Structure 1
Amino acid sequence: MTTGSVGERIGAYRRRRGLSQAALAGLVGRSESWLSQVERGVRSVDRLSVLLDLAKVLRVEVEALTGQPWQYAPGGSPIVGDLAEVRRFFARYDSLLGVESGVEILPTDVGLRVEAAHRAYQAAQYERVVEQLPALLSSAEPLRWFGSGAVRREALVSYVNAYAMAAKLLTKMGAADLALLSADRAASAAVDAYSVEARGMAAYQVVCALLRADRAEDAERLAVQMAEAVQRESRPERPTVVSVAGALWLIAAVIAGRRTDRGEAWRRLDQADTLAAMLGQDGNYAWTAFGPTNVAIHRVSVAAELGDPAEAIRAADAVDPDRLPAGLNSRRAQVHLDLAWAHVQRKRDADALLHLMEAERTAPEMVRYNVMARELVREMLARQKKSKTSALHRLAVRAGVLD
């Protein structure tokens, strides 16, 4: 793999393809001067969709440009970790071999373990969850065939929760194959559980995994169709259903923003707003973190996807992260990451640094493994006079941008 910053990687792969800067810039809808600045490290690639377009034109994986696993779901970030144990778990297929764990399964105990994993994930403690994932899934696997009637349906919902947890983490880590496999297992069990909430939860994770696998059209179709289906079942007295429908509209809005369809992105955000008003509070039903504040955060994120820093800053005025339920560190940090991006685009590096530092204070692992956060730091370093004692330099070291 080519070494260096994202800009240097783009330049190397461009030359390998025999393209001029003018030709490559034209193919992704940008100017030659913009691409020149990116390759020289003067500025970053300012939209996720443009990075994806560059990878397609250069005929490489996005990881070849970023140098790290890449994640397309909202609020997500890549993380480097050892997945060997997780891969071994998914390759075992004990059920096909008739291998039983020999341990008595207590669904309530499994449910508590799954809840703890979800909380750790939402607190951006990704490395901790990676370590626990094989044991967690091993304990949840027998739930697929546990009990009968209402007991079985409850066990299946717990199984869906476990594999949804796995899918979101694996998507975060950039393991598209395992994420799709985990999300598919959740989807199969959700159908058997006869639960609209479980079906919606599983669908959301399938959407995120499809995005990670660069299948945006399939992801968008599923997100919109499932959002419409779950919304038809939404009632004020069913807050979990309302929250799942809202989460699906939010991911659908991000996808529309990524393909620069401003009108459709805002329409989907308005659908989510309607559901947030029905919910009437900031909640965390089905681990969605859905509510008015999360909708407001997504308005900032969608503006960033659209490449509109002014709109992102305006939208952030309506966000009060303190209204979110306790423990949602990744959601709190996301708005600061988006605002850091917006200020960097306007060359307000001091403001951007403050937001990056606040994001790091809130969720250190989220900043440490976030590709775009690292590129923002690189861009600011290129504009700053060299100093090994500045706050920006220290952040760059902590983020792994500098040794």
Structure 2
Amino acid sequence: MGTIGERIRSVRKRRGLTQQGLADLAGVSASLIRKLEQDARRDVRLETLRKIAVALKVPTTSFMAQHDSESADERTRDLWAPVRRALYGLDSPPSEAPTREGLGSALEASMPLWKQDRYSQVATMLPRMLRDADTLVTADLSARHVRGRLLHLVGWLMTQTRQFDEAEFALSRAMDDMNDPLDAAATISTHCWLLLRQGQLNEARQMATHWADDVEPRISRATPHQLSAWGWLLLRSSAAAIRDNRPGEADDTIRLARTAAVAMGGDLTPDEDFLRTFGPITVAMKRVENAMVEDRPDKVIQLSQTIPVTDLRPTSNNRNRHLLDVAEALRRMHRHGEAFEILQGVRHDAPEWMTNQRYARDILKGIIGKRRTLTGEMRNLADFVRLEY
């Protein structure tokens, strides 16, 4: 298939475009196209590849085979080193025999930390919990459900912090422990998100579609668990499709997700599992995300005005990502002051989450990039998100 650069150059020539012509259509610089075609740039973002794919009228995955996703930085990997050791079973078993009730209680007690993205505190608790879970399952197979839920959360958090190999390992182990199809579907939804963050669009779309077909409920009789599982898989499929330059498919799947959300009757959290929170507001935020991927800042602002974010708890997997989309839309419309205020708000609500967001760094870079002087607040936020400026 050749390198990304060779494939872009080949399609560009077939379309009869110069490098400048392609750059104009894609809304990027001619120097970027030149560097990509010369294989001098390997850190190109998925969103940029999508713009080029749209301009050339091909799926984004045409250019994805060698796309490298950004992984965790050294500071993050140091923080999570003890968790990785426990996840891979490299620690000694606990000296005191754990109990299923004790592990379940510890997991429930830790849930506020997960919901509030207090990563450093979660990181101190997880090694013991993982060791206890493995020890328990060795003696009592009925404890696999508790371990599966723990591993699902670990896989989600490793995805959040861009530790992708560990996320894959944790989610695969979680699936081995799942004996309920809806629990498995929720884990698959997180796995699809992992694939999306790695740029594996085809794999994410196919996995989400396959599982959505398997768990599709009869709407008139569906439980909140069933609607949430089905709806989230449809949202993952839509997210993959829009990034792969398949807008019709993305629209179809998100309409189905809205059907599930309306039947839900509101945004609900089955079994108090925040990863399964689903309803009309969740779908509305994902519609905004799709509009941002399509580079429609006007549509993002229009849609966002109907979403009551002030009524939502600050959760990283929904609200905060939505706010970053709104901030980016405002930035692209040259409303930099409003965009900056949103970034400041996200920092206040979820500081540990924000430091793991390349998206936030890119938005801030766009805000301050051409300014001759920076305010103290701008320098402070740039340092906080580890932006080189």
Pick from 337, 347, 350: which aligns with 2:337? 350
- Pairing of 1:3-402 with structure 2 (within 5 A): 23=19, 26=22, 30-31=26-27, 33=29, 48-50=46-48, 61-63=68-70, 69=72, 80-82=76-78, 83-92=80-89, 101=94, 103-144=96-137, 147=140, 152=142, 155-190=143-178, 193=179, 195-232=180-217, 238-285=223-270, 286-287=273-274, 288-324=276-312, 326=313, 328=315, 331-389=318-376, 391-401=377-387
Partner deviation per Cα, 1:201-254 (whole Å, 9 max, x = no partner): 221222233334443212211111112222236665621222122121112211
**Contact 1:235 1:242 (8 Å CA) reproduced:** no
- What CA distance in whole angstroms lies between the structure 2 residues aligned with 1:274 and 1:28? 39
- What CA distance in whole angstroms lies between the structure 2 residues aligned with 1:100 and 1:396? 42
- What CA distance in whole angstroms lies between the structure 2 residues aligned with 1:229 and 1:138? 33
CA separation of 1:111 and 1:23: change in aligned 2, threshold 3 A: farther
Partner deviation per Cα, 1:150-194 (whole Å, 9 max, x = no partner): xx2xx333222101001011111222211111111111111xx2x
1:401 maps to a residue whose letter is: L
The unaligned stretches of length 5 or more in structure 1 are 1-12, 40-44, 71-77
Task: Tell me the percent identity.
Answer: 21
- What CA distance in whole angstroms lies between the structure 1 residues aligned with 2:105 and 2:144? 15
- What CA distance in whole angstroms lies between the structure 1 residues aligned with 2:361 and 2:93? 45
CA-CA distance at 1:374 after TM superposition: 0.8
CA separation of 1:103 and 1:184: change in aligned 2, threshold 3 A: same
The unaligned stretches of length 5 or more in structure 2 are 10-17, 36-42, 53-60
TM-score, length basis structure 2:
0.79
CA-CA distance at 1:316 after TM superposition: 0.6
**Contact 1:293 1:323 (8 Å CA) reproduced:** no
**Contact 1:250 1:272 (8 Å CA) reproduced:** yes
CA-CA distance at 1:59 after TM superposition: 5.6
**Contact 1:343 1:351 (8 Å CA) reproduced:** yes
- What CA distance in whole angstroms lies between the structure 1 residues aligned with 2:259 and 2:357? 31
Partner deviation per Cα, 1:330-353 (whole Å, 9 max, x = no partner): 533222111111111122211211
Greater relative contact order structure (CA < 8 Å, 6+ sep): 1
CA separation of 1:349 and 1:47: change in aligned 2, threshold 3 A: farther
Partner deviation per Cα, 1:291-332 (whole Å, 9 max, x = no partner): 2211111111111122221111111122112443x4635533
Higher deviation after alignment, 232-241 or 247-256: 232-241
Partner deviation per Cα, 1:84-137 (whole Å, 9 max, x = no partner): 22332233378xxxx864544332332233334443233222232233222221
CA-CA distance at 1:51 after TM superposition: 5.4
**Contact 2:64 2:200 (8 Å CA) reproduced:** no
- What CA distance in whole angstroms lies between the structure 2 residues aligned with 1:243 and 1:382? 41
- Count of aligned pairs between the two proteins: 359
What secondary structure sits across from 1:383 in the alignment? coil
**Contact 1:333 1:360 (8 Å CA) reproduced:** no
**Contact 1:167 1:178 (8 Å CA) reproduced:** yes
What secondary structure sits across from 2:369 in the alignment? helix
What secondary structure sits across from 1:384 in the alignment? coil
- What CA distance in whole angstroms lies between the structure 2 residues aligned with 1:266 and 1:376? 26
TM-score, length basis structure 1:
0.76
CA separation of 1:136 and 1:28: change in aligned 2, threshold 3 A: farther
